[in-house]
Structure 1
Amino acid sequence: MKVQDPSDDHLGELEHVLMTGFFSIRKLMEARTKLSSTNMKRRCKVRRYPIRSEIKETGPFPDLMNYHQLDKFYDFSKGSIIAKDLSYVCNQFIHSFVFSFMLNERGQVESVILSSDKEKKKFCHTICLSDAIEVFRLIGADYPSDVRMRRNENGEWQVVNSQ
């Protein structure tokens, strides 16, 4: 039984939740004392797809008129799983030039396809929706109660550990 494809309204709402969620996480990370050291160092699993070899040197590359033609630009048969810092993943959402959804065979959102404005000529990433939800769950439950700091050589405070 095929589930009805998500509506544009639902996809727009999901995009909004993901964008604001990852932006909020980045702001918590930038505060340096709002998350535990474990979550500050968290790595996330993403799948990276290279730009197609036949357009790598000469283009055309994704632009305002064609960014939705993902199969034309990225080789989805050559994906590799990599681990990236949570801050990198946050920036992929915040600076995304390409932002799309990958649906499974039942028409449900499975992954988010992203490529930043700076990296769109090299590769795109997919992040499983379940992995993004897990990040939100972990960060949402992170309430550090002990922060250890020291001054660095410039006299500025530096977080040593946060739990």
Structure 2
Amino acid sequence: MILESYYWKKELLKTSEKLKKKIKVKKYWTPKKYAKFEKEIMFGFYIIRKLIEANKLTNKIVSTKKEYKVHNNLGTKITIRNRHSFDEYYDFGNYSIRKSDLKFLNNQFIHSYIFSPIISTVDDYSLKLMENEKLTDEEHCEIHENSEKEVIGIFFNSDKNKDKSIFQIDIKTIIEIFQDVGNCNVTSISMKYNEKKDDWDCVLKDDENKIPNESLELINKLEEE
């Protein structure tokens, strides 16, 4: 249960701003920096999961589907002994496009078996140099290390689908999700008793984001604390 969702949503908005600042990669990520990024993503999706379970988000937000890429497994069983070299076991040369709602994405990140940020070279000069097929692996790595880089997305999957596929989502999509949820304001709720589950079904709306004066006063009060 979440008593006051304001603080949880505010944390998501803060995280989205932190992620924006991390897109530009100035130097090689240390294990500490990698862990911090990992925590921000996973904790962000955990917040969303708790907000959904506590009926603190509108049905529209929860059902909104986000796009990502799917790379199929090439036939190798993924285990804790080989997942560190996952780039060898999925077809990254091909992909299909899929859309899923927040509940699915939450489960994939919270129960992630593989989680790896995608840091890519973005400056044209370095990209041109890397087109040279005669480059050794060491030369290729050196160019990459000295180039302008950005976090463009994340590779991820869960223990349930690791042997089928791996997903690739844009970092801007994750930022958008955190912002949408962080700015979600439930202004009306209707309930109907569900005999099968012996509980109430809730339909939550935002009435086109028209926030009642009482809610605005509460938000302003919380901001002052």
One fold, TM greater than 0.5? yes
Q: In the alignment, what sits opposite 1:97?
A: 113
State the AA in 2 paired with 1:116.
S
TM-score, normalised by the number of residues in structure 2: 0.65
Match of 1:74 among 70, 84, 90: 90
1:6–1:108 contact (8 Å) kept in structure 2: no
Match of 1:35 among 35, 48, 57: 57
Show the 5 A alignment for 1:17-36. Answer: 17-31=40-54, 33-36=55-58
C-alpha displacement of 1:64: 1.3
In 2, Cα distance between the equivalents of 1:68 and 1:128? 21
State the AA in 2 paired with 1:95.
H
1:129 aligns with 2:151: no
Q: In the alignment, what sits opposite 2:28?
A: 5
Q: In the alignment, what sits opposite 1:162?
A: 205
Moved over 3 A (4+): none
Cα RMSD after superposing both structures: 1.6
How many percent identity over aligned positions? 30
Show the 5 A alignment for 1:45-56. Answer: 45-52=67-74, 56=75
**Matched residue count:** 155
Superposed CA deviations along residues 4-29 of structure 1, whole A, max 9, x for unmatched, are 23322222101000000001101111
Greater strand share, 1 or 2?
Answer: 1
Q: In the alignment, what sits opposite 1:146?
A: 188
Which secondary structure does the structure 2 equivalent of 1:62 belong to?
A: coil
Query: What runs of 5+ residues in structure 2 fail to find an aligned partner?
Result: 1-24, 122-147, 207-225
2:58–2:203 contact (8 Å) kept in structure 1: no
